[in-house]
């Protein structure tokens, strides 16, 4: 179910710059018992994305919340599975205007809200973890766009096509080998007994849960630092987890050929995060 | 005027992966007296793009040509400026299917054909040239996607926003300073009396006219080589031109603070290319 600029519809102007150039940003938000999870953090990133891309969309908490509520209520009324949990996607595009790359001064942004079932996540992987391997498709290096959740997601599409049916996630690197992120998640790693996450300065997405952890985890006695994760650092890898704002923290039990310690993920990170946020 | 999968319409499914992820490719084709210019080269790149992205769209010359003719004929019938020249844009997206980055096996590609007036190009710049400067927005480094004309064009959008009203084009670099391309053009440079064009192995678009020149220009006594254009090479810059398949060859008379030789562009490159291809 899609709502475009306040109207329920399945279609969209073909001239919109979101389609023509991927000129926009998005957020994927977990809904728990009718409420968006990590909502303030999503709003902040949406605002930051629009500002960086200079899309003149004023992020308005009350307006967006009302629209989400309308979509959510209708979705349940029309007989969708009456689950307590689902996913809302918010896309903001620059709108129409401006043939050619340069936007016109009078483009009006488009707001698209859609609702989707929660992706299927086997519950046992929260305890046993998953094996991940490095994928061949590179993550694009571009300091201008790094961090944003923009609509140019071919990197993730190409990497995802390498995954087998039974692989939940895979790892993406820069051409130089540095580990940056999963196709749909950020990475936490334990190296020399410290928790770190790859630096997102030249490439990658600053996931909402990643930013939440960087800002709050020190209060839980779980300091997380940003660092480069090159081959040297990865050689000392002890434990690893993937994280995003829809599924929370999932341990990694093997990265390529290296067996990893799942126990410390469960005890240290997952316990802290899942105590704060209702991921499952 | 837009034609989506054979039907004239202004709208498009909002669920299409072209909008959701920029999951597709496009070509911008000059029409001269009702015929697409550099058509074989455009078809080849379209085919290569779909193959690399694994979009199951079979490029069909006869079918596409018939669709273009239909759009072109209607455009002129409905009272569009009766110009001999215009631009056709062909977009192929992966279509619907697959929530999340990974495409579904049964997605059906979408074909979008649109027609547009020729961008305004002041004729005098073909003789006097233009001044260009380096823009701040980086071009994304990604060997997996380099060369393709895909729908992830935020790099070009960001760079174009830096251009003033009176600037026809600007130059895009890698974060390390290497010159890659213009926002809407490839670059030809004369260095140590040889014509070169930046290597597109890790970043950038392999423009159709660029590929045409690389393949044919040796027959005209105008060998063009691919090379890295780092700061060292740029220090020896003698002449420069921008090129694309819509406007042809336009000399650059100044690059940042360096005055450049326009005469050799006009005599050597532009004369040869514009003799072969009817750019204006």
pLDDT at B66: 95
**In the listed set A117, A142, A162, which residue is the last one of a domain according to the structure?**
A117
How far away is chain A from the Cα of B154, in angstroms, using its nearest Cα?
6
List the CATH number of the domain containing A46: 3.30.470.10
Distances (CA, A) of B65 to A16, A258, B11, B42, B57: 25, 54, 22, 12, 15
Q: What is the ipTM of this complex?
A: 0.95
- Residues A37, A14 share a domain: yes
Q: What span, in angstroms and rounded, lies between the C-alpha atoms of A81 and A84?
A: 9
- Residues B149, B74 share a domain: no
Q: Identify the weakest region by mean pLDDT among A25-29, A216-220, B187-191.
A: A216-220
- Residues A155, A52 share a domain: no
- Residues B129, B64 share a domain: no
How high does pLDDT run on average in chain B? Answer: 94
Instruction: Tell me which residue in A11, A154, A163 faces B152 most closely, judged by beta carbons.
Output: A154
pLDDT at A78: 77
Q: What span, in angstroms and rounded, lies between the C-alpha atoms of B227 and A88?
A: 47
- Residues A88, A23 share a domain: yes
- Residues A188, A271 share a domain: yes
**Per DSSP, what are the bridge partners of residue A189?**
A196, A240
Q: Identify the weakest region by mean pLDDT among B69-83, B171-185, B223-237.
A: B69-83
Give residue-wise pLDDT tens across range B199-209. Answer: 999 999 999 99
**In the listed set A117, A150, A165, which residue is the last one of a domain according to the structure?**
A117
Neighboring chain B residues of A91 at a CB cutoff of 8 Å? 19-20
The residue segments making up the domain with residue A45 are 2-117
Give residue-wise pLDDT tens across range A37-75. Answer: 999 999 999 999 999 999 999 999 999 999 999 999 998
Give residue-wise pLDDT tens across range B12-52. Answer: 999 999 999 999 999 999 999 889 999 999 999 999 999 99
Beta-strand ranges (E) seen in B165-246 are: 171-173, 179-182, 186-191, 194-198, 224-227, 237-244
pLDDT at A84: 74
Give residue-wise pLDDT tens across range A138-161. Answer: 999 999 999 999 999 999 999 999
Degrees, nearest 5: CA angle B163-A141-A164: 130
- Residues A94, A25 share a domain: yes
Residue A83 has pLDDT above 70, yes or no: no
pLDDT at A99: 75
Neighboring chain A residues of B14 at a CB cutoff of 8 Å? 2, 4, 9-12, 112, 114
Q: Do B14 and A145 touch (CB under 8 A)?
A: no
pLDDT at B182: 98
Q: Do B155 and A163 touch (CB under 8 A)?
A: no
Contacts of B226 (CB under 8 A, 6+ apart): B196, B197, B198, B199, B200, B214
Confidence of residue A107 (pLDDT cuts 50, 70, 90): confident
- Per-residue pLDDT, averaged over B84-98, amounts to 90
pLDDT at A79: 64
- Residues A220, A89 share a domain: no
Distances (CA, A) of A276 to A38, A214, A272: 10, 14, 7
- Residues A133, A72 share a domain: no
Residue B82 has pLDDT above 60, yes or no: no
Confidence of residue B106 (pLDDT cuts 50, 70, 90): confident
pLDDT at B83: 65
Provide the number of structural domains found in chain A. 2
- Residues B141, B255 share a domain: yes
- Residues B98, B20 share a domain: yes
- Residues A237, A166 share a domain: yes
List the CATH number of the domain containing A163: 3.20.10.10
pLDDT at A115: 94
- Per-residue pLDDT, averaged over A180-184, amounts to 98
**In the listed set B86, B117, B148, which residue is the last one of a domain according to the structure?**
B117
CA nearest to B20 within chain A: A151
Residue A82 has pLDDT above 60, yes or no: no
């Amino acid at each position: 179910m899609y709502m475009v600029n306040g109207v329920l519809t399945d279609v969209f102007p073909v001239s919109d710059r979101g389609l023509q150039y991927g000129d926009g940003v998005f957020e994927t938000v977990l809904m728990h018992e009718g409420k968006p999870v990590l909502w303030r953090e999503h709003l902040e990133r949406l605002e930051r994305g629009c500002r960086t891309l200079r899309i003149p969309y004023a992020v308005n908490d009350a307006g967006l919340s009302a629209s989400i509520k309308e979509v959510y209520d209708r979705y349940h009324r029309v007989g969708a599975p009456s689950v307590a949990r689902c996913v809302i996607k918010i896309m903001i595009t620059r709108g129409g205007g401006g043939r050619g790359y340069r936007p016109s001064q009078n483009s009006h942004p488009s707001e698209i809200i859609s609702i989707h079932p929660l992706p299927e996540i086997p519950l046992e992987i929260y305890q046993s973890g998953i094996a991940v391997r490095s994928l061949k498709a590179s993550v694009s290096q571009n300091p201008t766009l790094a961090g944003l959740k923009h609509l140019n997601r071919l990197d993730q599409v190409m990497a995802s096509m390498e995954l087998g049916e039974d692989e939940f996630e895979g790892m993406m690197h820069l051409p130089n080998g540095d580990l940056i992120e999963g196709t749909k998640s950020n990475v936490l790693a334990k190296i020399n007994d410290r928790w770190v996450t790859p630096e997102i300065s030249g490439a990658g997405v600053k996931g909402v849960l990643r930013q939440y952890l960087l800002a709050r985890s020190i209060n839980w006695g779980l300091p997380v630092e940003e660092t480069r994760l090159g081959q040297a650092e990865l050689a000392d890898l002890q434990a690893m987890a993937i994280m995003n704002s829809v599924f929370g923290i999932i341990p990694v039990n093997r990265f390529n050929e290296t067996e990893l310690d799942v126990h410390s993920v469960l005890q240290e990170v997952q316990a802290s995060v899942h105590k704060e946020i209702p991921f499952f």
